Chain A
């Protein structure tokens, strides 16, 4: 865990693990929660196995669907764990995802009240993307605000 780059989330969900698993693995269920209403989600591919595709589209009007996510699963432990990344697309081509590269790990554990649901999302460093575009920020995302402040206050970025 890198607190500057990663996020964790823990939740006790009052439903059996198998129910939560179905919501992750059945397209008609996945579509119901993946994107916030009124945006509609359409699952193009939900191939929940290592190397399998996770491709979703989104629409505001239900007519035109724009690309949303094109990712692959890298680890799938039945009823226990799902790991996917957007750094490799569903054709296994390396990508430069926006806004930031990430790997998400979702684990389902037993809990007396239902499911112990945990998410860890490990992000790449967006400053690397900034550097790639020759913006010239100093190393480390944490310093970006300082750099921008310096830029805005009329000092040359270091």
Chain B
């Protein structure tokens, strides 16, 4: 649950910026090189690379370098993490109740 929570935080942080949302929107149309992406956003390349790095470190995009060109690809699975929270909570509680049940029905645990 803590790991899921950290993932969710990362996705929210990554999406809480108009430039990064713009990059995600652009990548929804298909993989794009960093150079091509950077031209669409009015900022210096180092500033833009920081956004790319934030998106990549939070798993929302992948990048791959081929020769001198670095290409960015959207990770759609990561976007889905924000919608699976209720299923995750349900699983947490189901498993927690399984463990409680095992403990209270274990004769060795209840002899004292």
In the bound assembly, the distance between CA atoms of A97 and B29 in angstroms comes to: 35
**A interface vs B, CB < 8 Å?**
4-5, 7, 9, 11, 13-15, 19-20, 23-24, 29, 32-34, 36, 58, 66, 68, 98-100, 102, 117, 119, 121, 123, 126, 129-130, 133-136, 141, 144-145, 148, 151-156
Check A13 against B105 for contact (C-beta < 8 Å). Answer: yes
- Given A7-B90, A23-B104, A33-B100, residue A98 in contact with residue B9 (CB < 8 A): yes
Whether a CB of chain A sits under 8 angstroms from the CB of B53 is: no
Whether a CB of chain A sits under 8 angstroms from the CB of B16 is: yes
Check A68 against B100 for contact (C-beta < 8 Å). Answer: no
Name A's interface SS.
mixed
The residues of A that contact B100 with a CB separation of less than 8 Å are 13, 20, 23-24, 33, 117
Check A123 against B103 for contact (C-beta < 8 Å). Answer: no
Check A133 against B12 for contact (C-beta < 8 Å). Answer: yes
Closest to A32 in B: B103
In the complex, what's the smallest C-beta–C-beta distance from B98 to chain A, in angstroms?
Answer: 9
In the bound assembly, the distance between CA atoms of A35 and B73 in angstroms comes to: 36
Contact of A121 among B13, B80, B89 (CB under 8 A): B89
In the complex, what's the smallest C-beta–C-beta distance from A68 to chain B, in angstroms?
Answer: 7
Task: Tally inter-chain residue pairs, CB-CB below 8 A.
Answer: 111
**B interface vs A, CB < 8 Å?**
2, 4-5, 8-9, 12-13, 15-16, 21, 24-29, 74, 76, 79-80, 82-83, 85-86, 89-90, 93-97, 99-105, 109-110
In the complex, what's the smallest C-beta–C-beta distance from A90 to chain B, in angstroms?
Answer: 18
In the complex, what's the smallest C-beta–C-beta distance from A40 to chain B, in angstroms?
Answer: 13
- Given A20-B104, A152-B24, residue A123 in contact with residue B86 (CB < 8 A): yes
In the bound assembly, the distance between CA atoms of A20 and B96 in angstroms comes to: 13
Name B's interface SS.
helix
Closest to A29 in B: B103
Closest to A129 in B: B12
The residues of B that contact A119 with a CB separation of less than 8 Å are 93, 97
The residues of A that contact B8 with a CB separation of less than 8 Å are 98-99
Contact of B16 among A7, A100, A134 (CB under 8 A): A134
- Given A23-B104, A99-B4, residue A148 in contact with residue B82 (CB < 8 A): yes
Check B90 against A99 for contact (C-beta < 8 Å). Answer: no
In the complex, what's the smallest C-beta–C-beta distance from A76 to chain B, in angstroms?
Answer: 17
In the complex, what's the smallest C-beta–C-beta distance from A125 to chain B, in angstroms?
Answer: 11
